Structure 1
């Protein structure tokens, strides 16, 4: 089931054409959300990130684009797809309407909401082997556009192909200064004893919703210190733990990087606090 501008359509319905600007120019933004029993985790954070991103890309924000409207449309989609109870992954894509070449003929937008079912209502740690490698063929730009959750994801796609071809579960992306920025599908955290480090936004990482929530959790912790600073590839070998985060998966501990093996004790401690925060959000 797909929700296109408020109209519910069957998944096989054709409703986009060759003039679509998301297809032609990557002129689109998206939010991926976790919904449990009709409750959108961290809805306010998703909403304000989307609004800020639309302003940066000079998209016209519709008058009815309130947080309540978006929540209503998500629930409408889930209910029709019989995902109203349980856990679901929801993606909302916003794109400029057809017209123009590089310069759009309008800044008005259309939007699509789609959903798929998830197995667990809570975040959980996967104990399976999770191997990563650096992706060095192309680099992330260290600027504000890289912070946006846009559909310009060519580097992520090529890195994903590289990971699949070489038997890795994920790859870590670098910027032009050869600093570690993020994973293909999430933000990156490194643990050094009681110090937790994550790359800063100016280095080009995604301004992730779960990244923000974990920073809040760690700032309130007396047990750990959180630092936002640049990360060298050499530090990956020195870290006690490395984990990847996004709002759908939660926290994914990396088990292996080259000859280095990691633990997951800190990730497990933080996970409990994250689940508590998600229930209260």
Structure 2
């Protein structure tokens, strides 16, 4: 079952014929985490979706308020009885018609959701190994900072990681600097300095990225900066980790021949869980 334009329909309904999101990647999306019938970081997700729609010149419906956005997500998870702990995705796509040039800029949306076993963020204790993905590069442009359905680079990188027995890959931009991971933003701790690439480098303007930057600034001994990260600097790091809204924080324990600590990652996860419990 999915939520299609505010109506609950079965997944086998034929709603993809001539769909521009499928044909041209003419769609943007948000993936959210829902805990105890509350969308975590609701405002950040809503405004990023609105900004994404504006970037690609979609017409935003007058009724698409933040309250409506929240209602559409929770209507489905309530119906599926998973609102206590769920992952939900809303995809907004331009309506059918036209080829590269659409007939109009009106939109439809689709929501689907699945249960998450544990509502809190869990610290990953297993070894987590990454390497660089260098077959294709992220471009330093505004489109790279939003979530569109054109994710073929991430798909190809995921296959590469799987073929090479890696847990993830770090993606590079066209200047050959580290930008992000396949499914999350990237952070590096060197001494007491926490570094993440600026959005201008081509990384996703992540909702969890924003939360981590905010939380890290509350730790008195930590200096938080947004700086370009060269692959050569990774070996100097004390910790590396990946962030996204569903997982929270995923520590990287191994990059090539070096292993990394996880103490700061664990501290951040604890702080995130305090916020989730309050939510």
TM-score by length of 1: 0.97
- Equivalent position of 2:3 in the other structure: 3
- Aligned residue for 1:220, secondary structure, equals coil
Q: Distance between the aligned counterparts of 1:33 and 1:74, measured in 2?
A: 9
Q: How does 1:233-244 map to 2 (within 5 A)?
A: 233-244=231-242
Conservation of the 8 A alpha-carbon contact between 1:30 and 1:91: yes
**What's the offset of the Cα at 1:280?**
4.2
Q: How does 1:62-141 map to 2 (within 5 A)?
A: 62-84=61-83, 86-141=84-139
Q: Distance between the aligned counterparts of 1:53 and 1:176, measured in 2?
A: 22
**What's the offset of the Cα at 1:279?**
4.0
Consecutive unaligned residues of structure 1, counting only runs of 5 or more, are none
- Aligned residue for 2:217, secondary structure, equals helix
- Aligned residue for 2:204, secondary structure, equals coil
Q: Distance between the aligned counterparts of 2:190 and 2:91, measured in 1?
A: 37
Is the counterpart of residue 55 in structure 1 residue 41 in structure 2? Answer: no
Please report the RMSD computed on the Cα atoms of aligned residues, expressed in angstroms: 1.0
- Equivalent position of 1:158 in the other structure: 156
- Equivalent position of 1:24 in the other structure: 23
**What's the offset of the Cα at 1:143?**
0.9
**What's the offset of the Cα at 1:12?**
2.8
Q: Distance between the aligned counterparts of 1:127 and 1:184, measured in 2?
A: 20
Conservation of the 8 A alpha-carbon contact between 1:77 and 1:115: yes
- Equivalent position of 2:224 in the other structure: 226
- CA-to-aligned-CA distance 1:192-213 (integer Å, 9 cap, x gap): 1211100110100000000011
TM-score by length of 2: 0.98
- Equivalent position of 1:185 in the other structure: 183
Q: Distance between the aligned counterparts of 1:91 and 1:279, measured in 2?
A: 22
- Equivalent position of 1:13 in the other structure: 13
Q: Distance between the aligned counterparts of 1:198 and 1:278, measured in 2?
A: 23
Q: Distance between the aligned counterparts of 1:228 and 1:6, measured in 2?
A: 39
- CA-to-aligned-CA distance 1:165-209 (integer Å, 9 cap, x gap): 110010000011100000000000001121110011010000000
Consecutive unaligned residues of structure 2, counting only runs of 5 or more, are none
- Aligned residue for 1:278, secondary structure, equals helix
**What's the offset of the Cα at 1:216?**
1.0
Conservation of the 8 A alpha-carbon contact between 2:16 and 2:22: no
**What's the offset of the Cα at 1:278?**
3.4
Pick aligned residue for 2:201 from 200, 203, 206: 203
Conservation of the 8 A alpha-carbon contact between 1:42 and 1:278: no
- Aligned residue for 1:116, secondary structure, equals strand
Q: Distance between the aligned counterparts of 2:277 and 2:57, measured in 1?
A: 34
